[in-house]
């Protein structure tokens, strides 16, 4: 072995660097949990960011700890109390340690012999979540890399289970479709198109004033599809929608699917974890009747990305999606082998993602998920109440989750001016970096949007955000910038 390779794998070098990195990350955690001048997002434009790293690369080899420090300093700080942006959880530190462990071991989990521990642990995690949904012993599933891939895989299973043709083996001459709320995540639309269903393959059901699927319209849209020669195979319920945090009436969708023998899939990427909270479990009533459910552990289960559970009420359905032979991996494609994940997932090489989730459950049990979900959903309601008490503010709707959509409209501007003002506010906050929030469109109106993911965010930070928005808004008409 060369000296260079020996140095790269030297245990003592690793030990020393690891200790330094853990100390650095622990200091970072302490700083984000305190009142600090650290910004939630150290904003640079894309060109500025790329230029800086090109310059770094041009300098050649250097100190890796300096690299780690710079990456940490220049990244968005998810653990910051004023991070209120996207649906990305600040991971519990124990899950980061599990990530380090699984990264170094680097065991895949497509086949048992390459990932014996990973596959067994993954099954334990999946079955634990299935029990929370109140599913029986025949339930099961697996973990995969993100909600987009999980939703696509679930809908492939729906196609195999409910289509009148064996599309996987023979292709299809029929027009197939699913039905979903117009407010659903774009990945459901994308899944239909990936499956080759085109525009006709995704039937968007109108949303009501609360941005929930108007389930009373399902029958009409189904009959219209049949009249056009379209075979609907599934209905997708949102738990919850990404933009507004609204839950569809899952029980009504379940009843409709049972009546028409359709596959019922729940996209619970963000809000499916309400099942862990006794206070908010009612939001997912009807989910237990679903054929398949997606839950992102990296959203509301304190686990690093990407870790997504794809769950089936009848685990046998998860084996019907793919039918290829791969003799070098397994001898019998038809055998239901839970320990050979490659039979059921898009992925062949797959991370040991179950280890991250299991480390959390082993350390703190499901109680930590219950406490976290309940606290953050409560905080969403508290923030909404704070907004309602202030003059010149509008809520899009009372929040069901930790997602709160609102806008500042102090002079009752017309819609064009209101949009310009709030877009300006959002951009100014982004460039300042003290707070990180995003924006969204609901019924074609622009709103500011917060997702309260950090368990250390309190009313103090929320009040400071509202005050800063009012200060920024006061500069709007004096600026020459056009937003």
pLDDT in tens, 346-384: 787 888 999 999 999 999 999 999 999 999 999 999 999
User: Quick one: pLDDT at residue 483?
Assistant: 45
Question: Which of 79-83, 201-205, 336-340, 460-464 has the weakest average pLDDT?
Answer: 336-340
Distance CA 403, CA 238 (A): 14
Residue range 113-139: average pLDDT?
95
What pLDDT sits at residue 412? 85
**pLDDT given for residue 327 in this prediction:** 43
Of 188, 163, 162, 161, residue with least CA distance to 174: 163
Residue 345 confidence (pLDDT): 76
Largest interatomic CA distance in the chain: 73
Per-residue pLDDT band for 324 (boundaries 50, 70, 90) equals very low
In angstroms, the Cα distances linking 181 to 154, 205, 296, 350, 395 are: 17, 5, 20, 32, 22
Whether residue 287 has pLDDT greater than 90: yes
Does residue 482 surpass a pLDDT of 50? no
Least confident stretch, 119-133, 136-150, 346-360, 467-481: 467-481
Phi-psi region of 24 (alpha: psi -120 to 50; beta: other; left: phi over 0): alpha
Q: Which residues are bridge partners to 308 per DSSP?
A: 144, 296
Least confident of 60-69, 450-459, 472-481: 472-481
pLDDT at 219 over 50: yes
Provide the pLDDT confidence category of residue 334 given band limits of 50, 70 and 90. low
Of 379, 245, 376, 236, the closest CA to residue 301 belongs to 376
Q: Looking at residue 90, what is its pLDDT?
A: 97
Domains in the chain (CATH in brackets) are 101-365 (3.40.640.10), 368-478 (3.90.1150.170)
* Terminal CA-CA length for the chain: 59
Least confident stretch, 85-94, 168-177, 217-226, 311-320 = 168-177
Spatial separation of the C-alpha atoms in residues 291 and 158, rounded to whole Å: 9
Sign of CA dihedral 265, 270, 274, 279: negative
77: helix, coil or strand? coil
- Token pair in block for residue 441: 């469109």
Mean pLDDT of 24-38: 94
- Across 203-208, average pLDDT: 96
Residue 343 in this model has a pLDDT that exceeds 80: no
Rounded alpha-carbon distances, angstroms, from residue 227 to 182, 193, 203, 204, 478? 21, 22, 14, 17, 57
Where are the strands (E) in 218-290, listed by range?
A: 230-238, 263-267
Does residue 159 have a pLDDT over 70? yes
What pLDDT shows up at residue 168?
A: 64
- Please choose, from the candidates 275, 303, 277, the residue with its C-alpha nearest in 3D space to the C-alpha of residue 359: 303
Q: What are phi and psi of 250, to 5 degrees?
A: -65, -35
Average pLDDT, the chain: 92
Q: What are phi and psi of 237, to 5 degrees?
A: -100, 145
User: pLDDT grade, residue 415 (50/70/90)?
Assistant: very high
Across the range 325-330, mean pLDDT stands at 42
In this prediction, residues 218-225 reach a mean pLDDT of 98
In this predicted structure, which of 20-24, 164-168, 206-210 has the lowest mean pLDDT?
A: 164-168
């Amino acid at each position: 072995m060369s000296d260079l390779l020996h140095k790269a794998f030297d245990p003592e070098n690793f030990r020393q660097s690891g200790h330094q990195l853990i100390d650095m990350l622990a200091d970072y955690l302490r700083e984000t949990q305190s009142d600090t001048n650290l910004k939630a997002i150290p904003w640079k434009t894309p060109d500025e960011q790329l230029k800086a790293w090109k310059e770094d690369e041009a300098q050649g080899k250097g100190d890796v700890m300096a690299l780690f420090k710079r990456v940490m300093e220049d990244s968005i700080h998810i653990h910051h109390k004023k991070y209120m942006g996207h649906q990305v959880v600040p991971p519990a530190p124990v899950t980061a340690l599990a990530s380090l462990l699984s990264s170094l071991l680097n065991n895949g989990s497509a086949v048992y012999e390459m990932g014996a521990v990973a596959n067994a642990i993954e099954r334990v995690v999946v079955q634990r979540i299935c029990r929370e949904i109140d599913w029986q012993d025949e339930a099961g599933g697996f973990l995969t890399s993100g909600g987009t891939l999980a939703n696509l895989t679930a809908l492939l299973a729906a196609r195999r289970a409910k289509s009148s043709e064996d599309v996987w083996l023979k292709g299809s001459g029929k027009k197939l479709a699913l039905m979903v709320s117009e407010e659903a995540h774009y990945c459901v639309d994308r899944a239909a198109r990936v499956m080759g269903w085109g525009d006709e393959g995704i039937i968007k059901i109108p949303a009501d004033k609360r941005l929930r699927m108007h389930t009373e319209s399902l029958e009409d849209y189904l009959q219209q599809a049949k009249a056009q020669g379209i075979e609907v195979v599934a209905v997708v319920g949102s738990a919850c929608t990404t933009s507004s945090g609204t839950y569809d009436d899952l029980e009504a969708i379940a009843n409709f699917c049972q009546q028409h023998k359709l596959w019922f899939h729940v996209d619970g990427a963000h809000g499916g974890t309400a099942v862990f909270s006794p206070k908010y479990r009612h939001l997912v009533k009807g989910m237990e009747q679903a054929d398949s459910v997606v839950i992102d552990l990296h959203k509301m289960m304190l686990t690093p990305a990407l870790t997504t559970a794809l769950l089936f009420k009848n685990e046998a359905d998860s084996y019907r999606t793919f039918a290829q032979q791969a003799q070098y991996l397994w001898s019998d494609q038809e055998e239901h082998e839970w320990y050979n994940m490659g039979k059921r997932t898009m992925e062949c090489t797959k991370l040991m993602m179950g280890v991250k989730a299991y480390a959390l459950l082993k350390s703190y049990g499901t109680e930590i998920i219950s406490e976290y979900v309940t606290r953050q959903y409560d905080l969403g309601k508290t923030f909404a109440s704070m907004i309602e008490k202030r003059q010149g503010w509008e809520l899009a709707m009372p929040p069901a989750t930790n997602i709160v959509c609102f806008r500042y409209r102090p002079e009752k501007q017309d819609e064009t001016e209101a949009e310009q003002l709030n877009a300006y506010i959002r951009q100014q906050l982004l460039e300042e970096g003290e707070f990180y929030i995003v924006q969204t469109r609901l019924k074609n109106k622009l709103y500011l949007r917060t997702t309260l993911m950090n368990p250390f965010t309190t009313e103090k930070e929320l009040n400071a955000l509202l005050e800063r928005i009012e200060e920024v808004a006061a500069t709007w008409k004096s600026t020459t910038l056009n937003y």
